[in-house]
């Protein structure tokens, strides 16, 4: 598969959550302050019911991106054919902007552990992921975006830095990157590395989307909990990412302690303002 072309940025989006369904359909898209929504793919791998009905209604007004949490692209077996067939059916229904999942493993031998588990950063793991990504991209007939995950431990076998691992996987599998800025910050604090080094190591021509989210401090480390507003340190790192990668499509994730939609839209407006400020800064340089 040739180098996947970056899609034009659709602007600024939010994770689609059931708590906001009615507020979304009850607000004119031009007045909502949201350009697009990202869905959790697994929530809609169902034959019918309210989730799909609401999805069909919302996609009439908004572009959608699909984001998975159980592909397990880093496990030796990779995703099952059954999972990929179900995912492709949803893709055909939604016609998403793009499809993403996490650069991690979530289970083995068909058992899903329902967690995003970090991979060892080794050449062997690179080879496993690359083979799996190529298979998935061939099956789905589209490029895959892979998201860097937060981590709280490291492997004794690690022979690569995380940023080199992410970059190598993207280059060798000819895939794209979903850059989670909060995850970089969380891992940089937990492991004591410079997040600027991480940003500089990534190939700019492969960063398609950015995630922003909140985190919590727990027992000597910080956890990617998605239950808080975006932290000031993460906003600062996001501005640096914009300087490095340009005005990449950006969205805010909130999965717990979910506020009313207008509160999230107000937070999203800060991302817009930062994008405008960085663009003006670069034009003036």
Q: Could you read off the pLDDT of 118-174 as tens digits, one per residue?
A: 999 999 999 999 999 999 999 999 999 999 999 999 999 999 999 999 999 999 999
The secondary element (H helix, E strand) that includes residue 178 is strand 176-180
The two structure tokens encoding residue 85:
């067939």
pTM over 0.85: yes
Which one, of 129, 148, 270, 252, lies nearest residue 198 by Cα? Answer: 148
- Please answer whether residues 204 and 179 qualify as being in contact, where contact means their C-beta atoms are separated by less than 8 angstroms: no
The secondary element (H helix, E strand) that includes residue 15 is strand 12-15
* Residue 114 confidence (pLDDT): 80
Q: Could you read off the pLDDT of 231-250 as tens digits, one per residue?
A: 999 999 999 999 999 999 99
Correct CATH for 12-284 of 3.20.20.150, 3.20.20.190, 3.40.50.2300, 3.40.1110.10: 3.20.20.150
**Beta-carbon contacts of residue 57 (< 8 Å; ≥ 6 apart):** 25
Q: Could you read off the pLDDT of 66-111 as tens digits, one per residue?
A: 999 999 999 999 999 999 999 999 999 999 999 999 999 998 777 7
* Angle between helix 81-94 and helix 123-140 axes, rounded to 10 deg: 50
The two structure tokens encoding residue 61:
């007004």
Report phi then psi at 73, rounded to 5: -65, -20
Alpha-carbon span 152 to 71, nearest angstrom: 21
């Amino acid at each position: 598969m040739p180098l996947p072309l970056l899609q034009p940025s659709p602007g600024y989006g939010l994770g689609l959550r059931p708590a906001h369904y009615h507020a979304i359909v009850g607000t004119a898209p031009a007045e909502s302050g949201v350009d697009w929504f990202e869905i959790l793919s697994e929530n809609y791998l169902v034959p019918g019911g309210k989730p799909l009905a609401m999805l069909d209604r919302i996609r009439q007004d908004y572009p959608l991106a699909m984001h998975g949490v159980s592909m397990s692209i880093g496990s030796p077996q990779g995703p099952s054919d059954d999972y990929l067939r179900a995912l492709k059916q949803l893709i055909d229904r939604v016609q998403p902007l793009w499809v993403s999942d996490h650069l991690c493993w979530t289970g083995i031998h068909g058992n899903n552990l329902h967690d995003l588990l970090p991979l060892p950063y080794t050449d062997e793991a690179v080879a496993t992921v690359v083979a799996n990504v190529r298979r998935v991209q061939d099956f789905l007939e589209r490029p895959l975006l892979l998201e860097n995950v937060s981590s709280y431990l490291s492997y004794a076998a690690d022979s690569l830095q995380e940023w080199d691992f992410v970059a190598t996987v993207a280059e060798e599998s000819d895939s794209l990157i979903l850059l989670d800025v909060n995850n970089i910050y969380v891992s940089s604090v937990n492991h004591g590395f410079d997040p600027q080094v991480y940003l500089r190591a990534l190939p700019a021509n492969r960063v398609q989307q950015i995630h922003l989210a909140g985190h919590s401090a727990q027992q000597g480390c910080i956890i990617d909990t998605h239950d808080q507003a975006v932290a000031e340190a993460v906003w600062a790192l996001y501005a640096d990412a914009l300087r490095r990668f340009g005005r990449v499509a950006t969205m805010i994730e909130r999965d717990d302690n979910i506020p009313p939609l207008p509160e999230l839209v107000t937070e999203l407006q800060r991302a817009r303002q930062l994008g405008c400020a960085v663009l003006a800064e670069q034009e003036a340089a």
